[in-house]
Amino acid sequence: MKSHYRVVVIGGGVVGASVLYHLAKLGWADVCLMERSVLTAGSSWHAAGGFHALNADPNIASLQAYTIDLLSEIEKESGQSVGMHMTGGMTLAGTPDRWEWLQSAYRTFQSIGIEDVRLITPEEAQEKCPVLSTHGILGGMWADREGYVDTTGTVQAYAGAAKKRGAEVIEHNRVLELHQTAEGWKVVTEKGVVTCEHVVNAAGLWAKQVGRMAGIELPVSPLNHHYLITEAIPEIAELDHEVPLVVDLEGFTYMRQDQKGMLLGIYEVDHQHWMMDGAPWNYGFQLQQEDPDRIERELTLGFERYPVLQKAGIKTWVNGAFTFSPDGNPLVGPVRGKPGYWCACAVMAGFLQGGGVGKSLAEWIVEGEPEADIFGMDIARYGAFAENKEYIRQTTGQFYTRRFVMTYPNEQLPAGRPLKMSGAHSEMTAAGCRWGASWGLEVPLYFAPEGFAEKPTLKRSNAIPLVAEECRAVREAAGLLDITGFSRFEATGPGAEAWLDRIMACKLPGPGRARLAPMLSESGRLKGDLTVFNWGDGTWWIMGSYYLRAWHMRWFTDHAGDGVELRDISDATVGFGVSGPESRRILERLTDGPIADLPFMGCGTFDIGLIRARVGRLSVAGELGYEIHCAAAEHIALRRMLLAAGADLGLREVGFNALLSLRLEKSFGIWSREFTQAYTPGETGMDRWIAWDKSDFVGKAAALAERETGPSRRVVMLEVDATDADASGYEPIWRDGRRVGFVTSGGYGHTMGKSYALAMIDEGANAIGTGLTTHIVGQERPARVIAPSPYDPEGRRMRG
């Protein structure tokens, strides 16, 4: 062991070994892995080693595909067998909705370029897996690249390949303490003290403790998980091929062959947390006592799905723990305020995801950003609210229980809620508000009469008529929207303007004005679709998406400027938006300030009734509109005053479902759909807001380079001949049978009475008038490229 390394990776499970390998592969050989016991001594040794294609997040599905391809590479590089069994695999659907969902998932795979998947009939499923009963199965999705590996061999292969590239692996050496230093980290271990620039927490079941060593409370918890392995089964032994990996979603089980027997894994509906504060230090190659009673229902379903199990002897029970984050995806990336501390934790499926996690994290450390958009596993998708133990218990438990349960796009799940509520929450609930959750905050979706129940569906919801009415109110009179669910950052100080000018790609607004502000990474990809306000009194605001608060704050901190004080005021400052043709009249009734003189994209301080409010004249809906910001304690008062002032002018409360439809008719993009860190300004139309003549800003060189060559694809507007379902995202777009792009978001435009989608489409196939097709919930639908903003294309209404 040396006294200094560039990187110390803590944890020798599959994830730590993969991080080590990828660091070395990127040329950083001065790296080491510290392992408390021996490699694999956490979750990794007792995993079932299966890998399969599905993930609800397409970016994570792509990284899973990367991992699968990598396994044979590390085997070759290291000379250590990973015990690859590429049997192929299938995911089965046992209800009509699930079957439709699987057909959509298949199309999503096509969108992200995973071509070796196809839909199969129950008969094909039975042929591939003769021990399967297809009773109740409606169809399945087959993937060629599914199977299983030998878990210990795989970890050894990652580590062996890393060692061949110069990395060190130090076993029997627990990391005891971590101390931040001016140069990086001091790592106190059983074998002595080492210093390093970066530490990586890949401590798996012990991630919580290794977080706490640096004062970090990670939203992660272990949960127990069962599988059983049978003795040899004659019906399997006599086959001339291995049976494929089978995931029976309605049965809560996965199955693969194990030697001449079977391995049946169970996602327990009655989940069980284990050691929420992290595993004991002396835990390693033990397992928990099996608990067949707790999983009786799932076992029964499994034995019905594979009748041969009913007479098979059980050779081994495994009840082991592995870790989960609240949404089940990994926690990866740097931690704000702890330079050089990186997470690679909560990797629920390390043999499937470990390669992608290692690759992305190593790129981040070495090159400054990962190649792929990994927001779905970025640790900064959570904030302090998610550190709470009960929040973690509820959300990780919900994820585990629902691992194989279908979640509909219009379904709101209960765990960890309600947590944060705006001041007017109770009154809005009494008025019929139906809520969703964003980053722990309750946000209004739509308003419904008492007794209304929204049915979970993949297609148009029965709440659509209610949303349509809200849209009509905004277009014809006025709508009132609780906009607490936006982020607000306040920048002050002598350096604020210069700092904003550097991190935003736009020209900064003058006093009393606001401006759309693209923020770019150094590589010229999007980092934000923000709005900057210059209140004219030395105070600047940056507004964006509420759920990106920690993600943006980390970026701001990493790009801090001198003489600027930045505060996240999102929970202290809240507000309402009023939009629609009557919105000005409503505000005029509440102020004697010159509200009528406020131009489009103007902002200023006004007395609104009793409240001294900051008001911006902006519009996401494409109408005359105002955003009124007040203190959190004034939220109820603001709502009451606005509702009273607008009562006779047709003002009604609306939710974000209406706003999503209204913005689509205007072709206004939103973050995570049209705008992501995988896309560039040219591709998304964000280049319109770039101040090319500014002397410098983050990402300028890369953005200029894109301007020279032009993007190879663009977001364009589509009209879709949809019937009972609208596009939602990641549906493939076809032209004459060739895939030319994918939907970024879609929905129904209630004013125009049409189904629309925004889609990222290759140059050459995205001209206005181009005829295309897409697949919505598995069904082929014609679509065509239309001019942007079918509603009020010249923007007269919002500027009027």
Ligand X SMILES: Cc1cc2nc3c(=O)[nH]c(=O)nc-3n(C[C@H](O)[C@H](O)[C@H](O)COP(=O)(O)OP(=O)(O)OC[C@H]3O[C@@H](n4cnc5c(N)ncnc54)[C@H](O)[C@@H]3O)c2cc1C
Instruction: Report the interface residues with ligand X, using CB under 6 A.
Output: 10-16, 34-37, 41-44, 46-51, 174-175, 202-206, 210, 225, 227, 318, 320-322, 347-352
Query: Could you write out the DSSP letters of every residue in 520-557?
Result: E-TTS-EEEEEEEEE-SSS-EEEEEEGGGHHHHHHHHH
| Minimum CB distance to ligand X smaller for 344 or for 733 | 344
| Minimum CB distance to ligand X smaller for 32 or for 611 | 32
| Minimum CB distance to ligand X smaller for 220 or for 611 | 220
| Minimum CB distance to ligand X smaller for 50 or for 577 | 50
| Minimum CB distance to ligand X smaller for 334 or for 749 | 334
Residue 344 CA neighbour count, 13 Å, CB half: 34
CA nearest neighbour of 226 among 54, 344, 400:
400
CA nearest neighbour of 655 among 316, 417, 344, 425:
425
Quick check: 689 and 517 in contact, CB under 8 A?
yes
Q: Least distance (Å) from ligand X to the CB of residue 694?
A: 44
Q: Least distance (Å) from ligand X to the CB of residue 62?
A: 16
Burial of 135 (0-12, 13-18, 19+ CB in 10 A): exposed
Provide the phi-psi class of 292: left if phi over 0, else alpha when psi is between -120 and 50, else beta. Answer: alpha
| Minimum CB distance to ligand X smaller for 14 or for 553 | 14
CA separation for the pair 612, 622 (Å, rounded): 26
Q: Least distance (Å) from ligand X to the CB of residue 799?
A: 53
Quick check: 200 and 17 in contact, CB under 8 A?
no
Residue 120 CA neighbour count, 13 Å, CB half: 22
Q: Least distance (Å) from ligand X to the CB of residue 80?
A: 17
Q: Least distance (Å) from ligand X to the CB of residue 69?
A: 15
| Minimum CB distance to ligand X smaller for 102 or for 213 | 213
| Minimum CB distance to ligand X smaller for 34 or for 74 | 34
Query: Could you write out the DSSP letters of every residue in 103-156?
Result: HHHHHHHHHTT--SEEEE-HHHHHHH-TT---TT--EEEEESS-EE--HHHHHH
Q: Least distance (Å) from ligand X to the CB of residue 174?
A: 4
| Minimum CB distance to ligand X smaller for 204 or for 340 | 204
| Minimum CB distance to ligand X smaller for 15 or for 727 | 15
Q: Give CA separation, 606 vs 317, 484, 492, in Å.
A: 68, 19, 20
Q: Least distance (Å) from ligand X to the CB of residue 616?
A: 45
Q: Least distance (Å) from ligand X to the CB of residue 263?
A: 9
CA terminus-to-terminus distance, the chain: 70
Burial of 5 (0-12, 13-18, 19+ CB in 10 A): buried
Q: Least distance (Å) from ligand X to the CB of residue 111?
A: 24
CA separation for the pair 729, 747 (Å, rounded): 10
Report helix, strand or coil for 409.
coil
| Minimum CB distance to ligand X smaller for 199 or for 481 | 199
Q: Least distance (Å) from ligand X to the CB of residue 104?
A: 24
| Minimum CB distance to ligand X smaller for 199 or for 587 | 199
Q: Least distance (Å) from ligand X to the CB of residue 106?
A: 22
| Minimum CB distance to ligand X smaller for 322 or for 748 | 322
- For 57-70, letters b (16+ CB in 10 Å) and e give bbbbbbbbbbbbeb
CA separation for the pair 635, 484 (Å, rounded): 9
| Minimum CB distance to ligand X smaller for 332 or for 722 | 332
Strand partners, 148: 50, 85
| Minimum CB distance to ligand X smaller for 352 or for 715 | 352
Q: Least distance (Å) from ligand X to the CB of residue 110?
A: 24
CA separation for the pair 467, 559 (Å, rounded): 41
Q: Least distance (Å) from ligand X to the CB of residue 189?
A: 7
| Minimum CB distance to ligand X smaller for 42 or for 729 | 42
In sequence order, the 6+-apart residues with CB closer than 8 A to the CB of 298 are 251, 252, 253, 266, 267, 268, 269
Q: Least distance (Å) from ligand X to the CB of residue 93?
A: 21
**350-367 helix and 151-164 helix, angle to the nearest 10 degrees:** 20
- Say which amino acid occupies 340: G
Helix H or strand E encompassing 497? helix 496-503
CA nearest neighbour of 386 among 574, 555, 547, 217:
217
Q: Least distance (Å) from ligand X to the CB of residue 26?
A: 19
Q: Least distance (Å) from ligand X to the CB of residue 149?
A: 9
Q: Quick one: DSSP state of residue 379? A: G
Q: Least distance (Å) from ligand X to the CB of residue 403?
A: 12
| Minimum CB distance to ligand X smaller for 206 or for 400 | 206
CA nearest neighbour of 436 among 744, 629, 658:
658
Written as six digits, the tokens of 15 are: 């994830």
| Minimum CB distance to ligand X smaller for 404 or for 556 | 404
CA separation for the pair 225, 348 (Å, rounded): 11
CA separation for the pair 777, 726 (Å, rounded): 8
Burial of 431 (0-12, 13-18, 19+ CB in 10 A): middle
Q: Least distance (Å) from ligand X to the CB of residue 351?
A: 3
CA nearest neighbour of 217 among 375, 388, 357, 338:
388
Pinpoint the alpha helices (H) of 687-765: 700-709
| Other residues' Cβ atoms within 10 Å of the Cβ of residue 782 | 12
Quick check: 493 and 758 in contact, CB under 8 A?
no
